[in-house]
Amino acid sequence: MNTPLRRVALAVMGMIVLLLANATYIQVVNADTYRTDPRNRRVLLDEYSRQRGEIIAGGLPVASSVETSGQLRFLRKYLDGPMYAPVTGYYSLRYGAGGMENAMDSVLNGSDGRLFVRRLSDLVTGREPSGGSVELTINPAVQRVAYDQLTRRGYTGAVVAIKPSTGEILAMASTPSYDPNQLSSHDGAQQESAWNADTSPKREIPLTNRAVAAIYPPGSTFKLVVTAAALEADKATPETPLTAAAALQLENTTTLLHNFADQPCGPGATVTLKTALVRSCNAAFAQLAATVGEADLRKQAQLLGIGQQDLAIPIPVTPSTLGAIPDVAALEQSGIGQRDVALSPLQNAMIAATIANGGVRMKPQLVRNILAPDLSVLDQTAPEQVGVAMSRFTADQIRDLMVAAENSYRNDGKIRGVTIAAKTGTAEHGADPKNTPPHGWYVAFAPADNPQVAIAVLVENGGDRNLEATGGSLAAPIGRAVIGAALQGAR
Amino acid sequence: MVTAVPTADAGAQPGSAPPTKRGIELIMLAFAAIVVTTALVLVELNQPHGVTRSVLYDGAAYLALFGAAHIAVRWFAPYADPLILPCVALLNGLGLVMIHRLDLAGEAAAASVGDPVPTGNLPHQIAWTTLGLGMFVAVLVLVRDHRMLARYGYTCGLVGLAALALPGLLPGAISEVNGSKIWLRVGGLTIQPGEFAKILIMIFVAAFLVTKRDLFTTAGRKVLGMELPRARDLAPLLAAWGISLGVLVIEKDLGTSLLFFGIVLVLIYVATERVAWLVIGLIFFLGGATVSDMLFRHVQRRVTAWINPFSDYDGAGYQMAQSLFGLGTGGVFGTGLGAGRPDLVPEAHTDYITAAIGEELGFVGLAAVLFTYLLVVMRGMRTALTVRDTFGKLLAAGLAFAIGLEVFIVVGGVTKLIPLTGLTAPFLAYGGSSLLANYILVALLLRISHAARSPAASAAPRKPVAPLAEARTEMVQRP
């Protein structure tokens, strides 16, 4: 009986070897597949057991983790949640992360390579591991004014403020906003109801970051791009005569493209480009766009960043677009920022900032420093020049046009002693554009001779003024208030 | 090895008597106590409240408990194998630590949602361990010679069969838990009679095979170089097969069914030394498995959850998927005891305790546990090889193989090698019946190994009492 006994013993050994081989397959070969499966809650729970880094704006921790006694050890708290929400984003057990919480996750959770040495010393010294912090370029005073200005009248819209010389984003507001504190709550029901409210399709979705994740027809603010294209291609100067007619018949169609309120641009048959920009005459700019041609317009748009697919600040930015321009009629319509042209508020602010910076485009940045848990600087974001979008000469010419334009606008909230260069826009949209309240735009920079801040303001759907709304009445006062706040900080 | 034995053992009868090696057992038990206490310290270290001195008392209590078992072995089975008890103690201790660890996770989970703190499983398991060790000692005291069990073969068989069948025949209100009708709910206690039936039936089969061995070796037709048994001699195997299927269909217990059939088959093979029985058994098994998979929903569900647990992630595949996530997250070295999330796997303290070990101790820890089991099985097989009487050989082989097969079925199920069957890992998993039964099993194994290594037995070897074996049945002439 001993032979079969030995064989049975061998068989049991074989069974154990089979188990070990299978365990190797699962725990060694396939381990990463299982570990990183999005349905595996372990990684997330593990993250909650470590102190996540802070998001800091102007020395204030706008997002920080506080210890709780619950199963999830750390709770994410936001200071002035709705105000900073478009920047900080949210950090939710159930719904993942958004905004900087998502874009800078590897730093905040401590897995980033720049924190490697720190992690190693945590391991050796037994110090509790924690994530690195992110210091933003946001200026809290500017951010507050931007947010307050939008919410004061209940606007749906966005404000972006950029420092032209560095690309640092000083403010990025989007309304209606949401409170990320509710999404990061450890109470699942509260998370869920907040999420449902924040993503509800029935009204303006609070979770959408309108500053970077939405694109809108730029309307007359796009005339800056057309002007830049015309000047750079030597197809016009500020004194070039353009039609002063109240309307232009689009090439090969019977459709008339009207000026605002159907007013002629001037008393004579023509006006200068300068006058046309100051008065924002659509017929004149449709004509100018046709003169410039699609190729030069596209080239200029691209130099200004329109169409860039991979821009991240590091929050990903929805690419702005000129859309398809199949014929001259389409080109004429695109020349006044309508048809399929669509820009994000960030993109429009970037255009203003590039003009302000003498034609040199800087990469927009939200991160100033990456800090170790002890707040020592690990990495600094250097200003990054993306390219030269236009000559300084062109930029200065456009600046002068914009100063003239600002001086022609109504006097809402102008700042004494500060010369602003600006352009307004009132963009039609929707299936029935004439009866849909327009989007109001205001792009500007100041002081004109030494720009410290460039801004773009967008107010959706006529704000509180319905069909009567214009960029000048809706967005310009907000923009000037933001500029005022930024200049106060800069002085 | 001999030099490690304290003089108290070797010095009693210098030269003549072989060493009892009880000293080795004690040292290994102390080693197990150190490992288990360290594991407990690691669990506590990873908790917010940190380590308290009570950990040392727990370790001492553990050592005292198994020290008592050790003393019983010293008195009642001094020549028993010295490695089996420490291995079992290590597994049991590791199981206790893991159950404690899962209790802590349950408390934390309850605290975070504001529920009242649940009573943990650990106190029960400690009570069952104590009771199990009591049974262990009782078996060593009562069964002074394993051969006496052969005399009760038929009684054991009958009682065992009744125990196996009882839950299936009783109304579901008494016997059904989570879809399996394998329980007896008496008062506040739930007992799994199948665990005890396993041992009783092994005793019966071993005794039966000793007396009826010739029957099975009688040659039938020769096919492909294998001598097939006569058709009428298939009856016992057919009976085992039928009972297994009954367990599967009525009690919905895949694991016990598989375990039972596997043990009977291996015992027949060992007794007859004929591979033909294995082949026939495997054909029976494959037939039964195929038909079951076609006919029974509960079998199909298990098979689907096995082949692709992620296809029904929120349903039948959830537990399997969680187990795989845990094992994968653990990786080679594990998350560390107390630092993983094994509580995310439903039933982590019973069916899936090996997944919890794989997660927190990693592949390395799981392999160590598997090797510990293998060591127990191999020492059992060694006992079967060295013991002189046929009944002892068969019973030891059956007991040892039962542990090996059960581990294969459990761990294979948890790691997606085979469909999950609902057995629990011996000594590791939470469960009173399993613990009691397995301590009885180990006590029998130690009893047999004592007989195998005892010099007294070799001095006066007794023929196994097998009167029927003497009465030869007719031989069939080959045509």
What are B293-330's pLDDT values in tens digits? Answer: 888 888 888 888 888 888 888 788 888 999 999 999 99
Say whether A4 and B273 touch across the interface (CB within 8 A): yes
Name the H helices within B114-192. 122-142, 148-151, 153-169, 172-175
Phi, psi of A453 (to 5 degrees): -150, 140
Name the H helices within A256-391. 273-279, 282-292, 294-303, 328-334, 345-356
For the segment A357-377, the average pLDDT, to the nearest whole number, is: 91
**Chain B residues inside the 8 Å CB shell of A41:** 341, 344
- pLDDT attached to residue B12: 43
Chosen from B87, B324, B378 to mutate, greatest number of chain A CBs within 10 A: B324
Q: For the segment A287-326, what is each residue's pLDDT rounded down to a tens digit?
A: 899 899 899 999 999 999 999 999 998 999 999 999 898 8
Q: Which of residues 105-124 of B touch A (CB under 8 A)?
A: 108-109, 111-113
- pLDDT attached to residue B6: 44
Q: How far is A143 from chain B (nearest CA, A)?
A: 36
Q: How far is A113 from chain B (nearest CA, A)?
A: 21
Cα separation values, A390 from A228, A302, B195, Å: 7, 11, 85
Bridge partners for A175 per DSSP = A157
Say whether A27 and B326 touch across the interface (CB within 8 A): no
Nearest-CA neighbor of A101 among A109, A90, A110?
Answer: A90
For the segment A394-407, the average pLDDT, to the nearest whole number, is: 91
- pLDDT attached to residue A204: 79
CB-based contact, A117 to chain B, within 8 Å: no
Beta-carbon neighbour count of residue B462 at 10 Å?
Answer: 11
Q: Name the domain count of chain A.
A: 1
Least confident of A255-259, A333-337, B34-38: A255-259
CB-based contact, A12 to chain B, within 8 Å: yes
Phi, psi of B344 (to 5 degrees): -75, -20
For the segment A405-421, the average pLDDT, to the nearest whole number, is: 84
Q: How far is B108 from chain A (nearest CA, A)?
A: 6
CB-based contact, A9 to chain B, within 8 Å: yes
CB-based contact, B374 to chain A, within 8 Å: yes
- Tell whether the model's pLDDT for residue A267 goes beyond 50: yes
Q: For the segment A37-91, what is each residue's pLDDT rounded down to a tens digit?
A: 878 888 777 778 788 889 999 889 999 988 887 667 888 999 999 999 999 999 9
Beta strands A133-136 and A55-57, pairing class: parallel
Domain presence at residue A323: yes
Domain presence at residue A225: yes
Phi, psi of B209 (to 5 degrees): -65, -35
CB-based contact, B393 to chain A, within 8 Å: yes
How far, in Å, CA of A176 to CA of A484, rounded? Answer: 23
Q: For the segment A180-202, what is each residue's pLDDT rounded down to a tens digit?
A: 999 888 887 888 888 888 887 76
Say whether B270 and A4 touch across the interface (CB within 8 A): yes
Structure tokens at A242: 């353009």
For A283, the domain range is: 219-373+382-490
Say whether A23 and B390 touch across the interface (CB within 8 A): no
Phi, psi of A70 (to 5 degrees): -80, -175
- pLDDT attached to residue B357: 94
Amino acid code (one letter) for A304: L
CB-based contact, B405 to chain A, within 8 Å: yes
How would you label B402-425 residue by residue, b for 16+ Cβ within 10 Å and e otherwise? bbbbbbbbbbbbbbbbbbbbbbbb
How far, in Å, CA of B21 to CA of B105, rounded? Answer: 41
Domain presence at residue A473: yes
Q: For the segment A77-129, what is each residue's pLDDT rounded down to a tens digit?
A: 999 999 999 999 999 887 888 899 989 988 888 878 888 887 777 777 767 77
- Tell whether the model's pLDDT for residue B461 goes beyond 60: no
Task: Compute the count of residue pairs across chains A and B with CB atoms less than 8 Å apart.
Answer: 139
Q: Which of residues 25-54 of A touch B (CB under 8 A)?
A: 26-28, 30-35, 37, 39-43, 45-46
Of B109, B321, B367, the CB nearest to A71: B109
Nearest-CA neighbor of A407 among A439, A446, A441?
Answer: A446
Nearest-CA neighbor of A42 among A112, A105, A93?
Answer: A93
Chosen from A5, A22, A28 to mutate, greatest number of chain B CBs within 10 A: A5
Structure tokens at A421: 């260069």
The torsion region of residue A59 among left (phi > 0), alpha (psi -120 to 50) and beta comes to left
CB-based contact, A120 to chain B, within 8 Å: no
Q: Give residue A264's pLDDT band: very low, low, confident or very high (50, 70, 90).
A: confident
Bridge partners for A369 per DSSP = A135, A380
**Chain B residues inside the 8 Å CB shell of A8:** 266, 269-270, 381, 397, 401
Domain presence at residue A438: yes
Q: For the segment B136-191, what is each residue's pLDDT rounded down to a tens digit?
A: 999 999 999 999 999 998 899 889 888 888 888 887 777 777 777 777 877 777 88
For the segment A448-473, the average pLDDT, to the nearest whole number, is: 87
Q: How far is A445 from chain B (nearest CA, A)?
A: 51
- Tell whether the model's pLDDT for residue B105 goes beyond 50: yes
Beta-carbon neighbour count of residue A161 at 10 Å?
Answer: 31
How far, in Å, CA of B138 to CA of B136, rounded? Answer: 5
Q: How far is A66 from chain B (nearest CA, A)?
A: 15
Q: Which residue has the higher pLDDT, B254 or B414?
A: B414
How far, in Å, CA of B89 to CA of B63, rounded? Answer: 9
Instruction: Report helix, strand and coil shares of chain A as percent, to nearest 5.
Output: 40, 20, 40
Asked if A344 and A211 touch (Cβ cutoff 8 Å), the reply is yes
Q: How far is A142 from chain B (nearest CA, A)?
A: 40
Q: Residue A361 is part of a domain; what is its CATH number?
A: 3.40.710.10
Asked if A344 and A320 touch (Cβ cutoff 8 Å), the reply is yes
Q: Considering just the CA atoms, what is the radius of gyration of chain B in Å? A: 23
Q: Which of residues 17-36 of B touch A (CB under 8 A)?
A: none
Structure tokens at A290: 């046709």
Nearest-CA neighbor of A347 among A335, A364, A334, A359?
Answer: A364
Q: What is the mean pLDDT of chain A?
A: 88
Structure tokens at A185: 């709550």
Phi, psi of B370 (to 5 degrees): -65, -40
Residue of B nearest to A30 (CA): B328
Say whether A23 and B363 touch across the interface (CB within 8 A): yes
How far, in Å, CA of B366 to CA of B344, rounded? Answer: 18
**A206 CB contacts (<8 Å, ≥6 apart)?**
A176, A177, A178, A197, A198, A199
Say whether B412 and A22 touch across the interface (CB within 8 A): yes
For the segment B224-245, the average pLDDT, to the nearest whole number, is: 74
Chosen from A26, A33, A37 to mutate, greatest number of chain B CBs within 10 A: A26
Domain presence at residue A161: no
Of A5, A23, A46, the CB nearest to B415: A23
**Does A220 participate in catalysis according to the annotation?**
yes
In this structure, what is the dihedral angle of CA atoms A473, A479, A485, A487, given to the nearest 10 degrees?
-120
Q: Annotated catalytic residue: which of A64, A130, A177, A220? A: A220
- Tell whether the model's pLDDT for residue B470 goes beyond 90: no
List, as one string, the DSSP characters of A268-306: SSEEEHHHHHHHT-HHHHHHHHHHH-HHHHHHHHHHTTT
Phi, psi of A148 (to 5 degrees): -65, -40
How far, in Å, CA of B431 to CA of B408, rounded? Answer: 18
Q: Which residue has the higher pLDDT, B28 or B243?
A: B28
Q: State the first-to-last Cα distance of chain B, in angstroms, to the nearest integer.
A: 56
In the numeric block, the tokens 């204030």 are attached to A60
Phi, psi of A135 (to 5 degrees): -100, 125
Q: How far is A122 from chain B (nearest CA, A)?
A: 16
- pLDDT attached to residue A349: 95
- pLDDT attached to residue B181: 76
Amino acid code (one letter) for B308: N
Task: Give the burial class of A252: count Cβ atoms within 10 A of its Cβ; 0-12 exposed, 13-18 middle, 19 or more buried.
Answer: exposed
Q: What does the angle CA A450 – CA A453 – CA A455 come to, to the nearest 5 degrees?
A: 135
Asked if B356 and B348 touch (Cβ cutoff 8 Å), the reply is yes
- pLDDT attached to residue A489: 64
How far, in Å, CA of B238 to CA of B233, rounded? Answer: 9
- pLDDT attached to residue B218: 67
Of B266, B416, B417, the CB nearest to A18: B417
Q: What is the 3-state secondary structure (H, E, C) of B58-106?
A: HHHHHHHHHHHHHHHHHHHCCCCCCCHHHHHHHHHHHHHHHHHHHHHHH
Q: Which of residues 184-203 of A touch B (CB under 8 A)?
A: 186
Domain presence at residue A199: no
Structure tokens at A39: 């349905």
Q: Give residue B8's pLDDT band: very low, low, confident or very high (50, 70, 90).
A: very low
Q: What is the ipTM of this complex?
A: 0.89
- pLDDT attached to residue B429: 93
Of A3, A8, A31, the CB nearest to B397: A8
CB-based contact, B57 to chain A, within 8 Å: no
- pLDDT attached to residue B475: 63
Q: How far is B189 from chain A (nearest CA, A)?
A: 32
How far, in Å, CA of A317 to CA of A342, rounded? Answer: 13
Chosen from A24, A27, A44, A187 to mutate, greatest number of chain B CBs within 10 A: A27
Residues of chain B with pLDDT > 70, as a percent, come to 87
Q: Which of residues 241-300 of B touch A (CB under 8 A)?
A: 266, 269-271, 273
- pLDDT attached to residue B317: 85
CA atoms within 13 A on the CB side of B375: 17
Q: How far is B47 from chain A (nearest CA, A)?
A: 11
- pLDDT attached to residue B478: 66
Cα separation values, A189 from A185, A197, A205, A470, B207, Å: 9, 12, 20, 42, 63
Say whether B328 and A1 touch across the interface (CB within 8 A): no
Say whether A41 and B340 touch across the interface (CB within 8 A): no
Say whether A27 and B332 touch across the interface (CB within 8 A): yes
Say whether A31 and B328 touch across the interface (CB within 8 A): yes
Q: What is the DSSP letter of A250?
A: P
Q: Give residue B112's pLDDT band: very low, low, confident or very high (50, 70, 90).
A: low
Cα separation values, B152 from A271, A336, B89, B208, B439, Å: 119, 103, 30, 10, 20
Of B344, B363, B384, the CB nearest to A24: B363
- Tell whether the model's pLDDT for residue A147 goes beyond 60: yes
Residue of B nearest to A40 (CA): B325
Domain presence at residue A334: yes
Q: How far is B15 from chain A (nearest CA, A)?
A: 29
Q: What is the mean pLDDT of chain B?
A: 85
How far, in Å, CA of A288 to CA of A290, rounded? Answer: 5
Would you call A412 helix, strand, or coil by DSSP? Answer: coil
Chosen from B341, B361, B379, B414 to mutate, greatest number of chain A CBs within 10 A: B341
Domain presence at residue A31: no
Would you call A119 helix, strand, or coil by DSSP? Answer: helix
- pLDDT attached to residue B7: 41
Q: Considering just the CA atoms, what is the radius of gyration of chain A in Å? A: 27
Q: Which of residues 65-104 of A touch B (CB under 8 A)?
A: 69-72
Residues of chain A with pLDDT > 70, as a percent, come to 98
Least confident of A141-150, B242-251, B265-274, B469-478: B469-478
Q: What does the angle CA A48 – CA A50 – CA A52 come to, to the nearest 5 degrees?
A: 85
Would you call B147 helix, strand, or coil by DSSP? Answer: coil
- Tell whether the model's pLDDT for residue B219 goes beyond 80: no
Inter-axis angle of helices B275-295 and B254-272, to 10 degrees? 160
CB-based contact, A256 to chain B, within 8 Å: no
